[in-house]
Structure formats: structure tokens, C-alpha cells
Amino acid sequence: MFVPDHADWTYEVGETVQIDVSVRKHYVAIPDLDITYEWGMEQHEPRETGTLNTGKGVRSLVLKGASEPGFMTCKVTAEVDGRVYSNYINVGFEPQKIEPTAQLPSDFQAFWEKAVADARETPLESMMTLQPDLCTPFADVYHVRFQNTKPGTYLYGMLSVPKKEGFFPAVLRVPGAGVRSYSGDKSFFPEHDVITLEIGIHGIPVNLPTQVYADLRENALSRYNTYNNDDRDLYYYKKVYVGCVRAVDFLCSLPNVDTERLAVYGGSQGGALSVVTAALDKRIKCLSAAYPALAEIAGYYHGRAAGWPKIFKNPDEVSLENKVRVSEYYDVVNFARFVTVPGLYIWGYNDQVCCPTSTYSVFNVITAPKQLLPVLDCAHWLYPEHAAMQRNWLLEQLTK
């Protein structure tokens, strides 16, 4: 366990850090135990290593701070009863001053405006199929399908609609990474009447048997986040990003949706897609993004920590520089520059999947109204109360 000497885990650049370290069994600090520690910039080789004894149970590490804005990691390892245990803590150094490495292509906006316009030449031709087993006393749930970037390419999702008559706000829930089924986002029921659309991104129905998704995860879609990432027009995420706008098109086609009250939210890959959707579609009135992925994609290439999917951690040298250039068209940092609506952003300092160096790079370039909820000890997850805060914030925005 770690107790830093700053309660907010945040320091000035160059400031010395003191961390009290203990190894506990049944909540009791173990005395006279040899432990090893590592200290260095986030996701990089440690610059300091050492061994010390816990003495009476708690020892203080005094560590040299970072020389520039960013995050540093302290990792401790100990052997107890023949087993090796480890834990880590990330502390920040003026994270509000982190600047991204991702460069904005000169034709970024034109590229995405054309991509969306080209897709809209294809009619939605939507279909809705009631799912009686997923309905509740308050909401009807439909499996939906609509065309995406060209005829015969589809997006699928689960639409939840209040059973009562009326004109309702709508929320688009965009998914985290992976391949799975969906049952509809009913977290806004029964207390609040909000239409919700929960989409998949892979162009396959979202109500198939579980084994289908398991097979796809291990085979055809095992590394979808890298497919064609040397070609900006063929990269897998092009149809995904455009598909999120098409999902908004679908919502706006429904007669009971109040198109003046639309929101988008998600976590990880879904956090990224929330930012992308809000940047590309000005009908979105607010967003909430938890630990957004696909940020600082080429961080490792530039000697920095990178967010998921960490494509360049062990890069293939073939077309490397071209892949870096392509990544800039898909980096969430560059979409964040064009967000114009209020946003709530949530992440933890200890996230090693979408590291805070990358998520702060997103937050720091946003000029729209923004609120950050740092949940310091969280890794790549949220506590239930913070998920509830996210939902309540969205509701507040939609009812203004």
C-alpha cells in the first residue's frame, strides 16, 4: 500500500515525492520485510531501483520528481509466504500542463467532413425488431439495424424506448473495446424517460449467441484496432467513427426523439468514441467520456506514454512513419480540439490501459466547457457512485 505525502497525488514539476510504503496482511503492516521498488516515468523503464526493509512496518520512499509535466510510477514488489506480490501508484506532475505529441493534419476537418458526407449518400434503411425478453415495465427494447458507410454495411444496436407516449431526449451509448452482445442501456429507467441507443461497432448483430463473439475475438477480430492502420481511408476505425454519426442520424429519424436534447457517453474505447461523436456531429449537446482510449496513439514513437491500443509499443518497422501519420487522423486528441459542447471527463491516476498522460492530453486541448472528475486510485474502471454521477450529470444537461 502507498500513501503519498500529497493528498491529491499531484506535485509541482521537480518537486520531491515522499511515499509511505507498507505490505499488509489482514490489514496489518508486515515488519522486517525486504521489498524492492522501481521509480520512473509512466510506461518507461525505471530510472531508480532499490531494496529496503520495512522495519517496524512502514517505510518512506523519498523520490526525485519529474522534470516536465507528466506522470511517474512507483512499483513495489515483495515476497510473502513464498508468493510474489506487487502494486504500483502513479503520481502526477502539473498534469494540466501536459501537451500532446499528436499533430493535427492540415486537412483533418475536410477528411472527416467528406467521410460523413459520403456515408450519408447511403440511406439508413433502418429496421427495428422488438425483443420481448429484454423489455421492462417501463421500456420497450428493440434490436435495430441501419446502414453505415455504403449499401450493405450495417451497424447494429439495442434501442430502449419509454412505453409512454411523448417526446424524449436521447442518449447514445458507445462501446468499450472488444466484441460482445448488448442488451440495451436501461440505466436511465424507470426514474427518467430517456431514449437510449447502445451500439456495437463491428457490423454484426448484437444479439447472437455468446460463442459467436468469443470466436470472433480470438480469430477474425482479434486485433481489429490495427487493421489497415497504414491507410487513412481503410483503417478499421474509419467506419466506426462515421458509424457513430450514423447512429445519431438514426436517433434523429425517430419521431419521438427530441433532437435538441442529444447526448453521448462511454468508457475506454467508448470514451474515445464519445469525444469523436461530439466533435463530428454538432447535434450532440453534451458528452461524458471515461478514460478515453485512442489518445496519443503514437506516444511511444515520440518517447512518451501512449493510450490504448498502444500500437507502437513494439512497432512493426514496415510503414512505421506512414502509420504514425495515419494515426493522427484518428487520434482522439485531434477530435478533442473541435469539441464545442459541455463535457464531463472521468479517470483515475492508476489507469495503465488508458494512461493519464494520454487522457490529460485530450482534456487539456478542449476549449469547450469541461469538468474533470479524477478518481485517483481507479485503474481502468469506475466506482458505482461515479458511474451514477456520470448518468446524473448527463440528465442534468439534457433537462436544462
Give the residue numbers annotated as catalytic, written as ranges. Answer: 268, 351, 380
- Write down the residue that cell numbers 442534468 correspond to: 396
Grid coordinates given for 39? 521509480
Interhelix angle 108-119/236-253, nearest 10 degrees: 60
Q: How far apart are CA 208 and CA 202, in angstroms?
A: 13
CB distance 72 to 93 below 8 Å: yes
Residue 18 C-beta-side C-alpha neighbours within 13 Å: 5
Q: How far apart are CA 54 and CA 234, in angstroms?
A: 55
Query: Exposure string (b/e) for 305-321, b if CB count within 10 Å is 16 or more?
Result: bbbbbbbbeeeeeeeee
Q: How far apart are CA 65 and CA 63, in angstroms?
A: 6
Grid coordinates given for 156? 447494429
Grid coordinates given for 84? 510474489
Q: How far apart are CA 206 and CA 280, in angstroms?
A: 25
CB distance 80 to 29 below 8 Å: no
